[in-house]
A and B are shown apart, each in its own frame.
Chain A
Amino acid sequence: DAGVTQSPTHLIKTRGQHVTLRCSPISGHKSVSWYQQVLGQGPQFIFQYYEKEERGRGNFPDRFSARQFPNYSSELNVNALLLGDSALYLCASSGPPQGLSTDTQYFGPGTRLTVL
């Protein structure tokens, strides 16, 4: 298994454009989470999906949206891009929640988005 994969690796957009980032989880994992990592900071939670349902949402504007497909892959969409959206976008997959214990999240390599 190649682990969590993300595409594209790098992306350059201009302000006002729209972007779609893609993530394929580890085989057997049904949960996908998205994080934004601005340079010099830790990752910040955007969304989590489990079994195609949104289970959590971070403090991000409605310009950010996501969905999960029947094969458990996921897309993150960002509309009306701003300069401040420039960041590394990380996807993480995990198995189903195990009672009160958080299942380990496995991270992909990220997509580097630059907004000019």
Chain B
Amino acid sequence: AQRVTQPEKLLSVFKGAPVELKCNYSYSGSPELFWYVQYSRQRLQLLLRHISRESIKGFTADLNKGETSFHLKKPFAQEEDSAMYYCALSDNNAGNMLTFGGGTRLMVKP
């Protein structure tokens, strides 16, 4: 069965510092990986997906199949990046089922 692990519950950085939110997964097939974000008092929304290979709000994530990781990175954190971040994996053999990690709360201090 697939599994997504986010080892850090909380990550606190200062504004302008680099950010890396870790995500590791286990999956027997060819995974599709996502990062979802939830800002305060807002609904869960897609931040980026690995097949898009694009940068959203300065964030990037590279799928490393050898290390089974999909870490989210941003070179310079902004206060508005403070939010809850969830890594998720899609099992295309079961429709659009998403398996989420436990989430990491990012706090960017001024």
Contacts and interface: CB of A to CB of B under 8 A. Distances in A.
A35 to B, nearest CB: 8
Given A41-B102, A43-B100, A48 B95 contact: yes
Given A101-B32, A104-B46, A42 B96 contact: no
Interface stretch (A18-26, A50-58, A67-75, A78-86): A50-58
Interface string A11-55: 000000000000000000001010100001111110010100001
A110 B45 CA distance: 13
Which one of A103, A107, A108, A109 has the greatest number of beta carbons of chain B within 10 Å?
A: A107
Contact of A58 (B6, B32, B86, B97): B97
A90 interface: yes
B44 A107 contact: yes
Interface residues of B, number: 23
B68 interface: no
Interface string B33-72: 0000000000111100101000000000000000000000
Nearest to B94: A56
Contacts of A58: 97
Contacts of B97: 33, 45, 48, 56, 58
B45 A102 contact: no
A55 B95 CA distance: 6
B73 to A, nearest CB: 20
A50 B43 contact: no
B13 interface: no
Contacts of A41: 102-103
